[in-house]
Amino acid sequence: MAEIRFDGRVAIVTGAGGGLGRSHSLLLAKRGAKVVVNDRGGSVDGSGQGQNAADKVVDEIKAAGGEAVANYDSVDTSEGAQRIVATAKNAFGKLDILINNAGILRDVSFAKMTDEDWDKVLKVHLYGTMNVSKAAWPLLREGNYGRIVNTTSAAGLYGNFGQANYSAAKLGIVGLTRTLAHEGQKYNIKSNAIAPVAKSRMTETILPPPVLEKLQPERVSPVVAFLCAENLEESGNVYAVGGGYVSRVAIVEGQGVMFQGDTLSPEQVFERWKQVNDLGAARPFANAMEAAAAAMKGAMG
């Protein structure tokens, strides 16, 4: 196939001062995109700020012959998100691609989690993805074109000890991604998500060095770039990506059981509980209404 390029396209990458965001930015710029490199420059827990991280990535892009500008606003407020998008509009005149990658960690067991730990993680991950997408939406609709790639996590899809805040935020991003896919369809806005595993500040303290060396961000970014391609057909999907592994992830529903009659008892449920839990013939649904229709079809006989 022909080389996938982004000449004439303008992209925003949040949390792009290092790790995955840096890798995404460098690849898009190498393929012709003009990139807004957003990074607040804070620590992994969201504290502090600075300009060096974003500036270094912009310098890398320019040194390689690409075009980029830096932005240092936080995604966790609508005002910051508006300024991020305004940076793209002011520097390059439009916006075509949005990669929501910014994130922090405040891992602690649920029993010990503070309100601040919960709020801050949801503000950056879930609200941040919403804030920047919301600010970008008018420009994408105006251009009748958009590619949004959001960042979820295996922790959100499957849960993980010590990450109740992070897991809740990341699964919320899946629901947001799928809804944006539906609402963006008539405007040629495609919305997908990745659940990446890669070497970063967030993983280098929990994974051993030999494993991290096989999980370079550059093994994830090509999938992100493909999800930003002009001829992309998929929208509303989630992909697990890491170390060269790529797989679609889907929420599925089993065939289930339709209990007949006007009443239902706990004992009747117990008797068919094994069948209720059987996922042997599980299938995904395109949207909530399709899932509801399947249930209603059985209820109506």
What's the number of domains the chain is made of?
2
In a domain, 267, yes or no: yes
Cα 122 from Cα 126, distance rounded (Å): 5
Residue 245 appears among annotated catalytic residues: no
At 149-177, the pLDDT tens digits run 999 999 999 999 999 999 999 999 999 99
Cα 39 from Cα 54, distance rounded (Å): 5
Confidence of residue 208 (pLDDT cuts 50, 70, 90): low
Strand partners, 100: 150
At 101-119, the pLDDT tens digits run 999 999 999 999 999 999 9
Cα 53 from Cα 65, distance rounded (Å): 19
Cα 169 from Cα 133, distance rounded (Å): 15
To 10 degrees, what angle do helices 52-63 and 19-30 make? 30
Q: Is the pLDDT of residue 298 over 60?
A: no
Confidence of residue 130 (pLDDT cuts 50, 70, 90): very high
Q: Which two tokens stand for residue 217?
A: 């961000």
* Percent share of the chain, pLDDT over 70: 93
Do 167 and 272 have their domain in common?
no
Do 141 and 279 have their domain in common?
no
Residues 210, 197 contacting (CB under 8 angstroms): no
Do 265 and 146 have their domain in common?
no
Q: State the pLDDT at residue 241.
A: 94
Q: Is the pLDDT of residue 201 over 90?
A: no
Do 93 and 219 have their domain in common?
yes
Count the alpha carbons within 13 Å of 105 in the hemisphere toward its beta carbon: 16
Mean pLDDT (the chain) is 93
Do 266 and 242 have their domain in common?
no
CATH number for 123: 3.40.50.720
Cα 226 from Cα 228, distance rounded (Å): 5
Domain that holds residue 109: 10-249
Do 155 and 275 have their domain in common?
no
Residue, of 235 and 45, whose pLDDT is higher: 235
Q: Is the pLDDT of residue 50 over 80?
A: yes
Q: Is the pLDDT of residue 249 over 60?
A: yes
At 213-238, the pLDDT tens digits run 677 899 999 999 999 999 999 999 99
Q: Is the pLDDT of residue 261 over 90?
A: no
Do 245 and 263 have their domain in common?
no
Q: Is the pLDDT of residue 205 over 70?
A: no
Annotated catalytic residue within 72, 145, 166, 239: 166
Do 219 and 272 have their domain in common?
no
pTM here? 0.93
Do 132 and 169 have their domain in common?
yes
Q: State the pLDDT at residue 203.
A: 62
